[in-house]
Amino acid sequence: MNYGNRNRDTSRSQARDRMNTITLAVPVLVGLEVSAALGLSWLCWRLAMRRNLLALRDIARAFVALSVTAMMQLLDFNALSGMAHALPDLGRSLALWMYLGFMVLGAAELATGNFVTGRVRRDAVLGALLAAALTMVISRVGGSTALGEDLIRNAISAGGTGIACIIIARVVDNAAAPPRMVLGAGVVRVALTLVAMCATLRAGIAILHSSGALPGVVDWAPILTVEFIAHCALCVGLVIWILDRDWALADASVESAEHRAAIDALTGLPNRSIVLDRLEVAVAGARRTGSLVGVLFLDLDGFKDVNDTHGHAAGDAVLRSVGTTLQGVLRASDTFGRMGGDEFVAISPSLRSETDLAIVVAKVRNALRHVVVIEDAVIHVDGSIGFALFPRDGETADALLAAADGALYRDKATRRLARSGALSA
């Protein structure tokens, strides 16, 4: 019995010597692979800490596990015998399954935007331990020689890799992302294709060799090297995607803040600062081109009575209705904004004559006179309008606004006298 074990150990050692071409032939290559994986892991961890991107932590852990997988190729366990051979087998399998688990966790965090809990991560580690133990047991029970064990391990790991690729592919396809986040997705898809091809090739070689269709010693070095590079590319693609998403969210936050600063919250119209800025731009453009700029100042009639009678919700609805209605009659190049309260300003650049301004004023006056129905209340909206023309009434934005504001109060007084005269009659 002891002789049988010794013969088995000797054949196992000889087979390992023949198969382990990475250890004997290209240790420098494996060293570079380990260095690359550890470097990428360090970079991911630094980014995770600096930018608070916790999803990168699992990608960093995946790189560490990948470096351990490659590092195991450099160690010579041929001096071990009996059950001692189970330790390196378990280590190789565990490193691989840990890598696959952390890679899937990182992809899941990327897709959902939610970070996995410590319990989920512990379950993933326990799953990797169980998968590694099963891989070792199945390979040692099913393989009569070291070569047979190696083939079984490669077949199992290839299957696990294929499953992980399918999961990540579904994550990539289902993950919501801004359209500009294309680089990370492209790298992930190409890397997934390479990983899946290498895993399929390893599984096919293992099956063919086990069936006797492919005799001889299997040299896994070229396939494993390409697969290692593809795995690195896959993790890098996920990192790029995470960073792209972080930058996109940051840009969206800045754009949202700028939008809130430039837009009136109630009506969605440009606010006072934007109106003044656009009037300055329109006046500067008119000076260069010799065109005219019309400025209209609007004030609603009886708006306080609307609030007092129907409530502030009705008053807000009236303001929104005025904004929507008047925007619909003005040109796309015109600006219509809310100055505050029930005061609005319209800017019409590139006018050719005073007649054009009169046409704009008539359109605005007709549109301003409309009805707003709120529940059972029917509110008749109307208002006064004052207007000014560059350069006739002023050559600066402030002068034009002052002229339009003065014309507005004259129009309000005229309309008030007309109403009182109509009532006395």
The percent of residues in the chain predicted with pLDDT above 70, rounded, is 72
pLDDT at 115: 64
Tens-digit pLDDT profile for residues 219-248 = 666 777 777 788 778 777 777 777 776 676
| CA separation for the pair 286, 281 (Å, rounded) | 9
Q: How confident is the model at residue 111 (pLDDT cuts 50, 70, 90)?
A: low
pLDDT-derived band at 193, boundaries 50, 70, 90: confident
Q: Which residues contact 389 (CB under 8 A, 6 or more apart)?
A: 292, 293, 294, 295, 351, 354, 357
Sequence letter at residue 233: A
For residues 297-325, give the mean pLDDT: 90
If pLDDT is split at 50, 70 and 90, which confidence band does 80 have?
very low
**Structure token pair of residue 111:** 């897709």
User: Largest alpha-carbon pair distance within the chain?
Assistant: 129
- Residue 348 tokens read as 């019409």
pLDDT of residue 144: 61
Residue 150 is a catalytic residue: no
In the structure encoding, which two tokens stand for residue 100, read together?
């696959």
Q: Smallest Cα–Cα separation from 42: which of 20, 59, 23? A: 59
Give the residue, 390 or 101, on which the prediction is more confident.
390
What is the pLDDT at residue 14?
46
Among the ranges given (254-258, 364-368, 405-409), the one the predictor scored with the smallest mean pLDDT: 254-258
Q: Who has greater pLDDT, 256 or 1?
A: 256
The confidence band for 203, taking pLDDT boundaries of 50, 70 and 90, is confident
Q: Which member of 150, 301, 342, 405 is catalytic?
A: 342
Confidence class for position 375, pLDDT limits 50, 70, 90: confident
Most confident of 28-42, 158-172, 181-195, 371-385: 371-385
Calpha distance 15→219 (Å, rounded) = 11
Q: Compute the distance between CA of residue 417 and CA of residue 414 in angstroms, rounded to an integer.
A: 5
Q: What is the DSSP code string of 137-206?
A: HHHHHH-SSHHHHHHHHHHHHHHHHHHHHHHHHHHHHH----TTTTHHHHHHHHHHHHHHHHHHHHHHHH
Q: Give the range among 67-81, 338-352, 388-402 with minimum mean pLDDT.
A: 67-81
Percent of the chain exceeding pLDDT 90 equals 21
Q: Distance between CA 302 and CA 95 in Å, rounded? A: 77
Phi-psi region of 268 (alpha: psi -120 to 50; beta: other; left: phi over 0): left
pTM passes above 0.85 = no
User: Average pLDDT over the chain, rounded to whole?
Assistant: 76
Of these ranges, 54-63, 145-154, 285-294, the one predicted with the greatest mean pLDDT is 285-294
256 or 288, higher pLDDT: 288
Average pLDDT for 392-407: 92
Q: Indicate if the pLDDT at residue 23 is higher than 70.
A: no
Is the Cβ–Cβ distance between 278 and 285 less than 8 Å? no
pLDDT value at 6 more than 50: no
Does pLDDT of 147 surpass 70? no
